[in-house]
Amino acid sequence: MQIILVSRSKKVPKTLDLACRRMRWRIAAMATVAVTGCMALGATVALALASPRDRALSQISELQQKIKAQDIMLGAVRRDAQRDLDALAVKLGQLQAQSARLNALGERLAQMGKLDDGEFDFDQAPPVGGVEDTTGSAYTLPQNLDTSIKQLATQFDGQQAQLSALQSLLMDARIESNLKPTGMPVQGGYISSYFGTRPDPFSGRNARHTGIDIATPLGTPVHAVAEGMVTFAGIRSGYGDVIEIDHGNGYMTRYAHNSKLIAHPGQRVRVGDVIADAGSTGRSTGAHVHFEVWYKGRVVNPLAYVRSHR
C-alpha cells in the first residue's frame, strides 16, 4: 500500500510506501507519540477541571459547618431574647396591674370626695397587649411590647394629671368642709333646749331661743366645730363667758355659759380644738353649752349642723 502526500509548495508529490518496513515503524512511532500526547493532555484537562469542583465542594461543606454553628448560636440568642422578652412582658404585666390599681384608687377617691364622675375618667379600658393572653403564647414581636409600653406611659401620664387635679380638688373640698360648722361642740351630753320660740326659763314669757342648749357636766371641754379665727372671748350680757369663732365663709359660731375660756381673740383654731370648759355663767340654770350658728349675719337653727358629719 502506498500513501501519496500532495503539497502545494512542492511540485512533486511525496510518496509514503507502507509496504516499506522502515516507514511502517516510523508511522507506528509517530502514532504512539500522538496517542500518548493526547492521553497526557486529557489527564491534565481532567485534573484542571476536577480540582475547582473539589475545592468548591470542600468550601460548601465548610460553609455548611459554619452555618450550622451560626444556627446553633442564633438559637441560643433567640432563646435569650425570648427570655428577655418574657421578662419584659412580665414587667409590663405588673405595670398594667399597678395602673389598674391606680384607676381603682382614683375612682374611690373621686367617690369619697363626692366629685363629678364625668370629670375623672378613671374607668378607662386597660391597654391591649399580649400579657392578658392566657393561652400561654409568649411575645414574639418586640413591636407589641413597644406599643404596649408606649400606651402604658401615656396612661400613666394621664393618671398623674388626673390624680393631681383630684388631689387639689379634694384639698379644696377638705378646706371647704373644715370651714363649715359640723357636729356637736361637746362629747356626750344631750340637747336640753332647741332653737326657736320657747317660754323663757326665767320670765316664763315666750321668747326666741337663738341656739340650742346642750346639757353637759361642768368643766366638759368645749370644742370648735369648724376651723376659724376666735373673734371674741369674754363676757356678753346673758351669755356669760362666751367664745365666738369666725369661719371666714359666712359662718360664725358662738359657745356660751362657759366656766373657763381657753381660746383668746385672734387665735386660729382647727376642728376639734378645745376653746373653753363648759359651765353655767350668765343667764343659766345649770351647766350647759348654749351653741349658736350664724350665717351671713343671721342666726340660724344649729340642729342640722350638729347632726351632720364631716
Closest CB 276 distance from Zn ion, rounded Å: 15
Name the segment binding Zn ion (CB under 5 A); options: 3-11, 152-160, 172-180, 212-220. 212-220
Closest CB 182 distance from Zn ion, rounded Å: 20
Closest CB 200 distance from Zn ion, rounded Å: 11
Q: Which parts of 68-127 interact with Zn ion (CB under 5 A)?
A: none
147, with CB counted inside 10 A (0-12, 13-18, 19+), is middle
CB environment 198-213: b (16+ within 10 A), e (fewer): eeeeeeeeeeebbbbb
Strand, coil or helix: what is 9? coil
The site map against Zn ion for 39-58 (x = CB under 5 A) is --------------------
Q: Tell me whether residue 169 or residue 215 sits nearer to Zn ion (CB atom).
A: 215
Rounded distance, CA 130 to CA 159, Å? Answer: 22
Query: Sign (positive/negative) of CA torsion 139, 142, 148, 152?
Result: positive
Name the segment binding Zn ion (CB under 5 A); options: 64-72, 101-109, 134-142, 210-218. 210-218
Closest CB 284 distance from Zn ion, rounded Å: 8
Closest CB 266 distance from Zn ion, rounded Å: 26
Closest CB 214 distance from Zn ion, rounded Å: 9
Name the segment binding Zn ion (CB under 5 A); options: 46-54, 244-252, 263-271, 288-296. 288-296
Compute CA distances 291 → 83, 226, 239, 257, 279, whole Å. Answer: 71, 13, 10, 9, 13
How many chain residues touch Zn ion (CB under 5 A)? 2
Q: Tell me whether residue 23 or residue 303 sits nearer to Zn ion (CB atom).
A: 303
**Beta-strand runs (E) in the chain:** 2-5, 14-17, 190-193, 196-199, 206-209, 212-215, 221-223, 228-236, 240-246, 251-258, 260-261, 268-269, 274-277, 288-295, 298-300
- Residue 290 touches Zn ion, criterion: CB under 5 A: yes
Q: Tell me whether residue 227 or residue 244 sits nearer to Zn ion (CB atom).
A: 244
Rounded distance, CA 197 to CA 210, Å? Answer: 9
- Residue 213 touches Zn ion, criterion: CB under 5 A: yes
- Binding residues (CB under 5 A) for Zn ion: these are 213, 290
